[in-house]
Structure 1
Amino acid sequence: MPADLSHIRQVMEEADCLYSEAEVEAAIAQVGERITAEMAESNPVVFCVLNGGLIFAGKLLTHLRFPLEASYLHATRYRNETRGGDLFWKAKPEISFIDRDVLIIDDILDEGHTLSAIMDFCRHAGARSVRTAVLIDKAHDRKASPDLKADFVGMSCIDRFIFGYGMDYKGYWRNAPGIYAVKGL
């Protein structure tokens, strides 16, 4: 059943803009500079986590000033359930990362269960190192483990339901030109 587009539009109209498009673009450029400084000589395999990481990864890749191999992966722990379970691959990585440095790019580090599972998968499959880049690190104390942190973070945000730049509200507004918080959530 299609979504009620009037509700979807209303969510955007009432949302709080946490970061403007210009602020997000500046943060992406800064993340690119940091990654370039630290990984330029490592010949990494760079994976975009679909669907959320698509916009961030696409924009970030243009700021990485070194040769790299790019691919994608799509994994979930939810499989149409409200609670996560084992990692389920919708699309496994197609590039070998045995003895390679791996950079995983995702939209947000919220609780981090799926990102942690992807990192573990890469390590067990032979990656020399696994690093992560996220556009948003959500500030709260519900991380999958207390020491879970992304290696490269664009911005942090308050603990609200956010959308834009790849993050969605009920499947919509991944294309929003900024980072927005749903009113009341």
Structure 2
Amino acid sequence: MPQSTITLHDKQFTPYLPARQITDAIRELGSRISQDYAGRQPLFVSVLNGSFMFTADLLKEVSVPCEVAFIRVGSYAGTSSTGEVKEIMGLLEDVQGRDLIIVEDIVDTGHTMRALLDLLSAKQPASLAVATLFLKPECLQHELELRYVGLSIPNDFIVGYGLDYDGLGRNYPDVYKAV
């Protein structure tokens, strides 16, 4: 049972999505990915820091042989996107000719995802797909093909399950929204 209200820095958050709903969405994504990649060995590229919990739980639901790598990018300051994407920690694996699946916690404006797709496409993978746990469709500012979307949500600021507010809140199993 989620806590009724949490306080992070100067903001109050109330329960929004219970862990069970998140688990169900991830199970469905894992099943779809396993079907789509049968007979293949995808490389999951997890976008740190936010997607670490999602990546771990998603890979538990994927039944095909796979690998995981991590990339760290930043575009947020406080509660809003700066609109400027900076690659902080690069991908060390050779991805040319590989089936890649970018694993992202949330896609809102799409700035980060657009930059990642451009960056990874230039490395000539065999295929490139996106798995995001959350999508804010009304915020999108780029046309993106998001093959695997766990949950579409309104434009609420959320924390929990890997998502944070200035570093806090990632550890909650449930998702909370700002009031």
Instruction: Provide the residue aligned with 2:47 in structure 1.
Output: 49
Aligned residues: 173
**Cα distance in 2, alignment partners of residues 82 and 137 from structure 1:** 15
SS at match of 2:61: coil
* Preserved CA contact (<8 Å) 1:109 1:150: no
Matched residue type, 1:29: R
Which of 165, 171, 176 aligns to 1:175? It is 171
Matched residue type, 2:8: I
Instruction: Provide the residue aligned with 2:115 in structure 1.
Output: 117
Residue ranges of structure 1 left out of the alignment (5+ in a row) = 1-5
1:63 aligns with 2:61: yes
Task: After TM superposition, give the deviation of residue 78 of structure 1 in Å.
Answer: 6.0
Instruction: Provide the residue aligned with 2:127 in structure 1.
Output: 129
* Preserved CA contact (<8 Å) 2:40 2:65: no
Instruction: Provide the residue aligned with 1:153 in structure 2.
Output: 149
Task: After TM superposition, give the deviation of residue 139 of structure 1 in Å.
Answer: 3.2
Alpha carbons of structure 1 residues 82 and 135: separation in structure 2 relative to 1, 3 Å: closer
Q: Which has the higher strand share?
A: 2
Instruction: Provide the residue aligned with 2:140 in structure 1.
Output: 143
SS at match of 1:83: strand
Q: Cα RMSD over matched residues?
A: 2.3
Deviations 1:117-168 (A, max 9, x none): 111111111112110001111131x3132x3242101111111111111111
- Normalising by structure 1, we get a TM-score of 0.85
Deviations 1:67-103 (A, max 9, x none): 1111100123469997333x43211111111011100
Fraction of identical pairs, as percent: 28
Residue ranges of structure 2 left out of the alignment (5+ in a row) = 1-5
Alpha carbons of structure 1 residues 29 and 182: separation in structure 2 relative to 1, 3 Å: same
Alpha carbons of structure 1 residues 71 and 155: separation in structure 2 relative to 1, 3 Å: same
1:93 aligns with 2:94: no
**Cα distance in 1, alignment partners of residues 129 and 27 from structure 2:** 18
* Preserved CA contact (<8 Å) 1:46 1:71: yes
Alpha carbons of structure 1 residues 78 and 108: separation in structure 2 relative to 1, 3 Å: closer
**Cα distance in 1, alignment partners of residues 47 and 151 from structure 2:** 18
Instruction: Provide the residue aligned with 2:83 in structure 1.
Output: 84
**Cα distance in 2, alignment partners of residues 31 and 77 from structure 1:** 26
